[in-house]
Structure 1
Amino acid sequence: MTMSRTAVLPVAHAEWIKLKSLRSSLVSLVTVFAATVAITALVFATVGVAEADNADAEPLFDAFYAFNFGQIAAISFGTTAVSSEYTSGALRISLAAVPRRGLFYGSKVAVVGGLALLAGLLTGFGTFLTGQAFLGDDGLGLGHPGAVRACVGGGIYLALMALLAVGLTAVLRSGVAVLSILIPFTLIVSFVVGDMDSGVAAFLPDKAGQQVLHEAPTGTLGPWAGLAVLAAWAAAALLAGWWAVRRRDA
């Protein structure tokens, strides 16, 4: 156990240093929080009260409207954290320093996932509280049914989307390719699918994961079951990425 720990911690620390020095990754990570909260403030300051009076509105889910944009930053963070290894040729240096590819890949996944989760949780609570502050007496509090679950689950959702991007980038070795797939997918598919909560559509990564943001999901999946489906997608992508890192030449 001691040998394992002494091997993991320095590698994880090295991955943290690499991420700190990579401006595009840091910008994406900060943007997860900053853009989501800023868009929330803009939307709720202009149309928040009107939407609160809408009988067809779903106040809790609507509180996280800006997650549609925050998830793009989360995907970008996960993508750039891995794609930089390939675009700069740093992967050869990384694997020379850490020949155990599983250790290298696992440490990167842990660091990216940990940072994404921290940013996601801050974003979840920050988004909810910021939006409700503009609604006055019509606003929801953290005591509202499902509010804390949605804030925590929303943070986990953003972290899982980042990890999904990590795995796909390790497989495709191209940040452009991954962004070209995931960003249109999360924006267009969610728009086309709309309110379809059953059938195959319910098991798409973003559609399933966002069930945790609803106060009372009515589809096939419950809030945590939907998040579990997204976790399964992310796990599959990470396993595929692990295989690619282990089997392919640097």
Structure 2
Amino acid sequence: MSRVLYAEWTKLRTEPAALWLVPCFVVVTVLMSLFAVASASCGQGGCGIDPAVLSLAGVQLGQALVVLPAVLTIGGEHSTGLLRTTLTATPRRIVVLAAKAVLTGGLALVAGTAAVLGCVAVGRAVLPGNGIAALSLTDGPMLRATAGSVLYLVLIGLLALGVAAVIRDAAASAGAVLALLYAVPLIAAVINDPELQRTLRRFAPMTAGLAVQATTDLQRQPIGPWAGLAVLAAWSAAALLCGGLAFRLRDP
């Protein structure tokens, strides 16, 4: 397994697109959070918005740049024919997919930690005094929102990897994952039935997973913080399971 991991790491670090996407993800995520916080009408009485959700708003857009390296690890190899060489060197396909999952998750963990901490720092620098107090990482709900946001990004990367293993084309895989993430909340927003709207938000991977960021008015959320993250984990596990079966049974 260590040999396969090293081979996958070598391929990834020599892929220019993947190398640029990681720092771009961190910068874009932090900048989007800065824009969200700076645009909010906040006074000493507060912003009327959960300060954790506001400060971590960049995660919602930055996640798109987590999807791209994940789909490139399989979709990119399919398009270039490199996957045949990979499977010739390592015929055990599940081992190859497991190595790609470990690498994808590890990369998302490192980049996600840097981006999320940057978002929290931006919130503490821009929000007024009461917002700074609410964003303390020694506070239980804020610590959960911060750690949960990092886990969210890891799960999004694994979801994208599983979808790419099924579809096998990098561009189509990225489009499918982004549609799954962003289209369902848009559909829910235009539905007039409150109960159906709430159900969609409870089980859509993005809205369910991002519930982990909430630190206030938890009763108004469509799903609890950890339950929402569990829904996203189920989506990721299902994608990896389907991807593993497709990767094992189909020709490269």
Q: TM-score if structure 1 supplies the norm length?
A: 0.89
8 A contact 1:145–1:215 mirrored in 2: no
Counterpart position of 2:214: 214
Take 1:188 and 1:54, find their aligned partners in 2: how far apart are those partners?
Answer: 31
Aligned CA distance change for structure 1 residues 51 and 19 (closer, same or farther; 3 Å):
farther
1:54: how far off? 5.7
8 A contact 2:41–2:47 mirrored in 1: no
Quick one: which of 230, 234, 237 aligns to 2:236?
Answer: 234
Quick one: which of 10, 13, 34 aligns to 2:6?
Answer: 13
Quick one: which of 76, 90, 95 aligns to 1:103?
Answer: 95
Counterpart position of 1:203: 203
8 A contact 1:208–1:227 mirrored in 2: yes
Tell me which moved more, 138-147 or 169-178.
Answer: 138-147
Counterpart position of 1:245: 247
Take 2:200 and 2:35, find their aligned partners in 1: how far apart are those partners?
Answer: 34
8 A contact 2:43–2:128 mirrored in 1: no
8 A contact 2:162–2:243 mirrored in 1: yes
Take 1:98 and 1:52, find their aligned partners in 2: how far apart are those partners?
Answer: 60
Secondary structure in structure 2 of the residue aligned to 1:198:
helix
Counterpart position of 2:141: 146
Take 1:24 and 1:241, find their aligned partners in 2: how far apart are those partners?
Answer: 23
Q: TM-score if structure 2 supplies the norm length?
A: 0.88
| 1:169 and 2:164 matched | yes
1:49: how far off? 5.2
Take 1:185 and 1:242, find their aligned partners in 2: how far apart are those partners?
Answer: 20
1:152: how far off? 0.6
Take 1:137 and 1:16, find their aligned partners in 2: how far apart are those partners?
Answer: 44
In structure 2, list runs of 5 or more residues that go unmatched: none
8 A contact 2:155–2:232 mirrored in 1: yes
Take 2:50 and 2:56, find their aligned partners in 1: how far apart are those partners?
Answer: 11
Number of aligned residue pairs: give it: 242
Deviation string 1:31-79 (CA, Å, 9 cap, x unpaired) is 22121012222333x3245377566322221111111211111111211
Aligned CA distance change for structure 1 residues 10 and 63 (closer, same or farther; 3 Å):
same
Seq. identity, %: 32
- Superposed structure 1 runs of 4+ greater than 6 Å apart: none
CA RMSD of aligned residues (A): 2.1
